[in-house]
A and B are shown apart, each in its own frame.
Chain A
């Protein structure tokens, strides 16, 4: 594949391929589907954070007219009921005990949802309450009860070198990285700073809560799900129900938002087990409150200590990130792993010693969420950077510029060197923010900066098939899930560009694992880079076939052939793809198939990470000192995207990510009291709305065409979420002199800090 300098489709503001379908309400989501004979499922959930399940009596529920099946632990004895892609620690339905409020204890399939709901109240469960590990402090207390005494081993997708729950503790994963000698580093430092920051539990509010339909029959298992990772779900279902992959079919219609909350396996095993028992297809459509108790982001406490020279040179760093992973591991081990690198940050520090621990508690399981471990560690790191700069009497911008890694600098041993121009990126944000002019501001208003750089979690394994049909239209088969991020448009653009056909000629359908080739997952900002590479390779394979066929028909040498606008051209001779196909097959039919693989060492570097994802941010705030309310005058985001395949979509992704970050910065926090969730609903849990948009919202896209993906693209869409919290916290500190170390920055928290400051 030659590097291209001029594009016809890539880099253009192509309209969303599924846009009209969505805005006219024709797009089908899982909840819109009806399968013949389908029953409705409802789930009885634990009201206790930690309890033994002494007995379950389903007699009365089963007798209710309209109820077809009631599933309990008694129904999963013939299968391995545990799942978890990292650690198989989670039963699809409660076995001997429950470990969080909301854990499924029984599930009902009935002729309609109302009957199923009524039956739930007839399921009689006797619990014996156990001591509650409400926080990681409880779980880490010596002698604390062990939440998972018997984990069923590694999951299907652990992909981590060392992964094991620490025996007889509640630590589900402990990540440790170190280099140099921190002792010497601190000894050589002129100043040592130490801070502790807290990050709340937050929920990925998606417009579509989790939903799945399952059917179990002689053909095996079929599942329609709002999942983002259909191939992971397939693998886990195959393990649980002891089926070959070929007998597990996962179909993914449009997904109404995911943000990590639909990554990996969630409700699918339960729905399959229920359908298996009912002998009929079953749909489970969760409510938002139910989905709020299905998955969340890890809350965290971050301790960070840095040694610095008087001139601002960073020398040594120690950090410990405690992550509350809730009742089950889910993606917790990976979150810990990423948090460790992300707290290190994109700065030159020769000596570091970092620990990140995912700790079990009796709360909702925490998993992936847009930039795993990123917001937690970068909130701490970038706030800490400003605190140090202030104490050292150095401008925070200059302090960062002094220490930021330059392109090609080593971040940590064995990892890909820095592949972005962070200094010029940061300067651009500062200019947009009028950093220099901000010194003259009045009290109560100020600007703040933050640099977010994350090691992408992207696993470089994807497969794609491109089919040229007899009429010249193209079918792209790719397992990337359209969750609203626009991946279909981007992948179709990449295929169309490579095949020299109009974008309208290319169609990508939703995933059906029986026909769509393998993809690792949709997440970690990997689809454009990794799947994009596979799609481009598949299209290039098809292109090579067209050239060969064209050369034969036009009696030319392959190197004389040019493909343009759906035609094969050799000098003054030309033939359309359709006609070429007809000639080649000798009938008005047939099709050509191009295949593309992306794997480590095959189309993609085996060195981790594939790319460093950037999300720099600047905030301009106005503080109402009487109420403590923070207003955003401006937010500036910057993402180095390598090459924007579709610039408006990149801007949309970056602004969406920043807005989500503004959510956990100012509003969002899932609150628990002794294991009981206090606000699992959208009235008491506040998601930002349009009225909370910054008055001015700028997004800068940096395009150096230097990424590992197609045409130099690299992943984006996640890291935009990490900068708002530290940027706003830093702006608040510069505006008012108060430094708050706990999110969200609610008006009351700000008011209290202001009051405490003035009373000193």
Chain B
């Protein structure tokens, strides 16, 4: 680490003129929230597309494809639980409890990974598996080639899954730096940003889950 940083230091360089930390922190917070607001338009556009593509063009009735309710509920519970541990980790950092902070982050990352597996490997079923557990069908049946009924499903879950994946990577980076002792109760913007991002991705799913799994009537084909 130090060797690389040392290369950027040169005697003749003009000394940098960074913002004082309280001002920079305020800028960071506004910037992150603006980015989150920007992403609202991304997710909302896909949500609107779901209603345009899946509603009955004649009657306007809300319809959706048949999906495994058990699988959807399970992944949703896992993701919502992860937010609880994220919050636990962040408050632990605020009071300086490093152990609970690290454990909370790791639990969040594991639960996030479980959610990701639930969507990509089970719901999407990219390896074409089949199997049941306690009578519950474990793998989804929609394929990308199923036409309009599957397109927006993959688009919405896929866009959300990319955000979950980047969130997991973000958490692991913060965890790794936290392990090296990088954050303090006074100064832990990385942790805060990571937590806000993770909660945000969670809240998106709070809208996407009912839109995909719950509202309207299930139909076999469109």
Q: Is B truly associated with A?
A: no
Interface residues of A (CB under 8 A from B): none
Which residues of B are interface residues toward A (Cβ below 8 A)? none
